[in-house]
Structure 1
Amino acid sequence: MPNTAPRPVLPSVSLAARVTTLLARSFPEYIPGVVYEGFRVESLDAREPRRMFVRWHGGTPTRPVWTHGPALGREKYKAQILEVLTRNGYAVTNVPGRMDVVVADKPHDTSGPRFAPVPSDIPVTAPWLVMDLWTRAHIATANTEEEAVAETMERERRHTVTEARIVTHQKLWDFLEGADAVLGDGLTWLRREVHKVVKHTTPVRHKRIDALVDVANALRRGDRFTAEGRLVGYETPYPGAGEDRPDTYSVHWVPKSAAPAVGYFPDAEWQRGPEVTTAITLLIEAGLTPVRYGEPIGEGAVMCEADGFMVSAADPSDLRVPGIHIDGIGSPSADQTARVPEVLRAAGWRVEGDRGWPGAWTAFPPAE
């Protein structure tokens, strides 16, 4: 009969070879019976063959490593191995309480979070765990989901600062910690520039590391920072500005919503009557795009994540007031803006333009 037993999952020889070659440039390699003090790369878990473990084996038969003292023992070499592997682009996890360093190749797509809170397989010991998704190693425990989420966010922030140090010049390193504090929580950010108050660019999505480097550079330049709600902003001079041209413009950052909402009005307390719903339906069916709102950024303000139209009652606090308002939010295309009155008039609505604000209308439904 053929052998149907499952084959053992072998460790990644190529990863082990690459890590061994890299570390051998700086440290001795432990060889049982030959070299008594040094590192060794191995796999201890057949379920995760794509990750390896690096452990420092210390001491000779006559002088074990623990007689050297903590500063010259395994912890010192563990820290140095962590630094070398991280600097050379590997995914590395330092598991508290273990002498191993867990190492794996970085995933091809690093746009998502690196850490995640997960329920524990042994809830009596620890109900929640924080997992390093890159190495599949558990790095912290928590009693509640809220604690696990908070620990996850802190780990993400530390990780992003470390990544930023790898890709930036040393002169920026002292400002990265300050930039991290300014940005607060949030893994994905929206950036926009505001020129002359009413002229602003479309928000552009950025990963946190991009926001971190941008804000760190602003801190290094000495730009003036402001904060309103979750909105972070700084005033920076135009290129070449000096005494003859002291003009500045604003740069705004805000955390991108995990699930931005299609917004027909930004304030959830505003009421939406049947006339608003009818107008929204007509405009969407005609191919027009509604605005998408994200995080609140201050008193009565919400970040616009995607430009489009907004529909609201003429008086959101009193739906008996006739008429609705339609506004172009952000910087919608001129073609879409021009089609709003066209679509509503074709359905029998009376539409009046706002002379004081281009791209805004008041509309009244057909008379019953």
Structure 2
Amino acid sequence: MTDTVPRAVLPSVSLAARVTTLLARTFPEYVPGVVHEGFRVESLDTREPRRMFVRWHGGTPTRPVWTHGPGLGREKYKAQILEVLTREGYAVTSVPGRMDVYVSDRPHDTAGPRFAPVANDVPFTSPWLVMDLWTRAHIAVGDTEEEAAAEAMYCERRHVLTDARMVTAPELYAFLERADEILGDGLTWLRREVHQVVKHTKPVRHERIDALVDVANALQRGEAVTPEGRLVGYKTPYPTAGEDRPDTYSVHWVPKSVSPAVGYFPDAEWQRGPEVAVAITLLIEAGLTPVRYGESIGGGSVMCEADGFMVSAADPSDLRVPGIHIDGIGSPSADQTARVPEVLRAAGWRVEGDRGWSGAWTAFPPAE
């Protein structure tokens, strides 16, 4: 869906020339000694790629308090320039209190964050900055990394919400705002369909804009959208419901975890001794894929972000019980399943297969 957002990318013409041509259709261009009020595309950088910005020269900074009617100073032109560049698909950065509008082409690959906390090494200033990675301009400061990260996420949400408005009809705008509040933070979301008779699909990765538009449409249809922890769910009808299929299915959206449980199940009551950690490390170093458990989706369930092997203590509630268990979670490849015992045995472990369950083993570390 993000591919439908316009991108102003014409590599054959410089960014400064394209922006100048675009803005000159609406605004006068400032020419020193000739045109005394107008815009100018500038850069203070001395190497490519240059950090470009648009500055309005001449005029008053703000509308005098004794005048009436619309603002006539630089702030009005800044807002209009920002609107034109955004509408044409450029990446723009506008910082309150500053007259410059930073501008750049949108990257071809827009997945991943646009805003990020960056350490600031300039003395006697705030230790953290919030940077727009597209325009290379800093938009906020923070006293701690956590404070800067929170501000970066806020900026990210507003950015995605703006993109969502560009690909949806105006009647959906109010629902997009509500969807943004319901979804909370998170850039990458996993969508899972849960059908009747305990049947569900694998989670499919989507960028935030897809989750935002989907939830907004559910709200517009009048469906009850329920947040449970970081899980967002609602029921939706089949497009062509018939007698041979249920009338509805549930949709679950949950953000991709930034700190997944890799190789083990994230139960707070389960104890993980050093033998579990050693086994997980051995299997990963051998090229095997560990399971990735992400956010809780309620009822003791956790979103499984990637199939693979899971390691647990033989008795997670009592580490004195010898041995560990290795289980294949989901649908790992047959090659991986076959290699689990060979990798551990090569490291000196004793491995026993589970007679009642294919793809499961009990293993004991080498005797000290």
Fold shared per TM-score above 0.5: yes
Whether the 8 Å contact between 1:325 and 1:360 is mirrored in structure 2 is no
Distance in 1, matches of 2:240 and 2:127, equals 57
Confirm or deny that 1:97 pairs with 2:97: yes
Distance in 2, matches of 1:65 and 1:364, equals 74
Structure number with larger C-alpha Rg: 1
SS class of match (1:93): strand
Please list the CA deviations of residues 99-151 of structure 1 after superposition, one character each: whole Å capped at 9, or x if unmatched: 11111122233212111112223342323221111111111122222221111
Confirm or deny that 1:294 pairs with 2:286: no
Deviation at 1:271, TM superposition (A): 2.7
Letter of the 1:254 partner, please give it: V
Evaluate the alpha carbon distance shift between residue 326 and residue 66 of structure 1 in structure 2; reply closer, same or farther with a 3 A threshold.
closer
Deviation at 1:351, TM superposition (A): 2.3
Confirm or deny that 1:256 pairs with 2:256: yes
Letter of the 1:29 partner, please give it: E
* Residue of structure 1 in register with 2:9 after alignment: none
Whether the 8 Å contact between 1:37 and 1:56 is mirrored in structure 2 is yes
- The percentage of counterpart residues that share the same residue type is 76
* Residue of structure 1 in register with 2:126 after alignment: 126
Whether the 8 Å contact between 1:93 and 1:135 is mirrored in structure 2 is yes
Letter of the 1:94 partner, please give it: S
* Residue of structure 2 in register with 1:6 after alignment: none
Whether the 8 Å contact between 2:90 and 2:106 is mirrored in structure 1 is yes
Aligned residue runs from structure 1 range 134-145, under 5 A: 134-145=134-145
Whether the 8 Å contact between 1:283 and 1:343 is mirrored in structure 2 is no
Distance in 2, matches of 1:194 and 1:80, equals 46
* Residue of structure 1 in register with 2:166 after alignment: 166
Evaluate the alpha carbon distance shift between residue 131 and residue 278 of structure 1 in structure 2; reply closer, same or farther with a 3 A threshold.
closer
Distance in 2, matches of 1:268 and 1:363, equals 22
* Residue of structure 2 in register with 1:5 after alignment: none
Whether the 8 Å contact between 1:280 and 1:311 is mirrored in structure 2 is yes
Letter of the 1:213 partner, please give it: V
SS class of match (2:354): strand
* Residue of structure 2 in register with 1:177 after alignment: 177
Letter of the 1:352 partner, please give it: R
Deviation at 1:88, TM superposition (A): 1.0
Distance in 1, matches of 2:199 and 2:342, equals 27
Please list the CA deviations of residues 11-55 of structure 1 after superposition, one character each: whole Å capped at 9, or x if unmatched: x98211111111122223233444443322222332565332212
Please list the CA deviations of residues 61-108 of structure 1 after superposition, one character each: whole Å capped at 9, or x if unmatched: xx9985667722211121111011011111111122221111112223
* Residue of structure 2 in register with 1:221 after alignment: 221
Evaluate the alpha carbon distance shift between residue 307 and residue 23 of structure 1 in structure 2; reply closer, same or farther with a 3 A threshold.
same
Aligned residue runs from structure 1 range 261-280, under 5 A: 261-267=261-267, 269-272=269-272
Letter of the 1:211 partner, please give it: A
Letter of the 2:355 partner, please give it: E
Q: Give TM-score scaled by structure 2 length.
A: 0.78
Q: Give TM-score scaled by structure 1 length.
A: 0.78
Deviation at 1:276, TM superposition (A): 6.3
Whether the 8 Å contact between 1:58 and 1:65 is mirrored in structure 2 is no
* Residue of structure 1 in register with 2:4 after alignment: none
Distance in 2, matches of 1:324 and 1:187, equals 36
Evaluate the alpha carbon distance shift between residue 40 and residue 253 of structure 1 in structure 2; reply closer, same or farther with a 3 A threshold.
same
Structure 2, unmatched stretches of 5+, are 1-11
Distance in 2, matches of 1:226 and 1:64, equals 47
Aligned Cα RMSD in Å? 3.7
Letter of the 1:239 partner, please give it: P
* Residue of structure 2 in register with 1:146 after alignment: 146
Distance in 1, matches of 2:282 and 2:137, equals 52
Whether the 8 Å contact between 1:230 and 1:298 is mirrored in structure 2 is no
* Residue of structure 2 in register with 1:3 after alignment: none
Deviation at 1:207, TM superposition (A): 1.4
* Residue of structure 1 in register with 2:354 after alignment: 351
Confirm or deny that 1:108 pairs with 2:108: yes
Whether the 8 Å contact between 1:312 and 1:324 is mirrored in structure 2 is yes
Whether the 8 Å contact between 2:328 and 2:359 is mirrored in structure 1 is yes
Evaluate the alpha carbon distance shift between residue 330 and residue 338 of structure 1 in structure 2; reply closer, same or farther with a 3 A threshold.
closer
Distance in 2, matches of 1:159 and 1:112, equals 12
* Residue of structure 1 in register with 2:83 after alignment: 83
Please list the CA deviations of residues 171-199 of structure 1 after superposition, one character each: whole Å capped at 9, or x if unmatched: 32221111111111111122221112632
* Residue of structure 2 in register with 1:21 after alignment: 21
Confirm or deny that 1:42 pairs with 2:42: yes
SS class of match (1:222): coil
SS class of match (1:86): helix
Whether the 8 Å contact between 2:62 and 2:75 is mirrored in structure 1 is no
Letter of the 1:80 partner, please give it: Q
SS class of match (1:71): coil
What is the aligned residue count? 347
Letter of the 2:72 partner, please give it: L
Distance in 2, matches of 1:44 and 1:348, equals 65
Whether the 8 Å contact between 1:30 and 1:40 is mirrored in structure 2 is yes
Whether the 8 Å contact between 1:56 and 1:74 is mirrored in structure 2 is yes
